[in-house]
Structure 1
């Protein structure tokens, strides 16, 4: 996982690489409500009820949660669990090196970093190293193959290059979206729009990132 060394470095990454508007808005809001010198992870419910996201940026809770999941998948933010918390309440923090170290020293476990899986959860294979049988991929990373799924897998095996199938599974597993519908959507999108850098894009046109970045900076200046 690529970790950013400063707030400015993360903002540059958001401008250049994040193409989902909801993920961008959520990431910038998280940056705006966490103090750089004392970065305390933010509980999920606080983000879902954030006034700027709900009223200023017109996102409902479903959209905010979608933005959080996408931002985690894009490694703009990280999802955390408090050590010893049996309720496994979700917290989030920006993917900035000293923020991560501060969270870890405060007893938070970071998902997808080292062995820091959620408490009582087994480790998962996070990467598929080479193309293998699509049925084996499904059984290993999703579960039992039903007759209807078997037909869909057979069709996908005929339509798509094995490397595409493996890469689509990799994206799903890394983002903890272990379901065939998500993988099938990736493959369909690549087939229709062309596969460029191998990353599943939810929108063909990138949002105006600079607009959101400028709003973030305005809010930070106002609150300082």
Structure 2
């Protein structure tokens, strides 16, 4: 057994349907079925598009800690139980959640109106927490900075804070005040507007002039 080091103070969370806890958790007695069901729910939440489908190959052996045969068995049990739906398209097998959207997805696949192969289904990338990211890119994590990071995560998001830290490191402006100024700018003007899509040099200049000048030293 690998010893788990514990959760951090900066975790992202994935939603699970309440019915999973009320109706499925107590009935699923096979570890493989439980793993593939939770894995599907996690992957589906991070997918975009009208429907959420995973092929059998999308169920990662390493992440699940299961063999290919165990994954196959778990999926078959989940389909038999009715938590997942199974459909074939162009010689590939896909699985969808047994929900109104999932059932509509099966109909769309069977009628040729939607090809699940066109959807991207890469698993979400695990990002380092902002405390570790700060120490690696900006400097020592003092109690004051730790509190500031927590406040920033609550006000913005861990993704925004991480991106601001990475931008500060990229521009060699390694101090928290600079990161904070970037976050305020993003909040006031938006992150993905036209001004945010300039080339690297222009983007760097944008954060090294005018109101950010006082944060550029030290």
Q: TM-score range by the shorter chain?
A: 0.3 to 0.5
Please tell me whether Structure 1 or Structure 2 has the larger radius of gyration of its CA atoms: 2
Q: What's the TM-score once normalised by structure 1's chain length?
A: 0.38
Q: What's the TM-score once normalised by structure 2's chain length?
A: 0.38
Which of 1 and 2 has higher RCO (CA within 8 Å, sep 6+)? 1
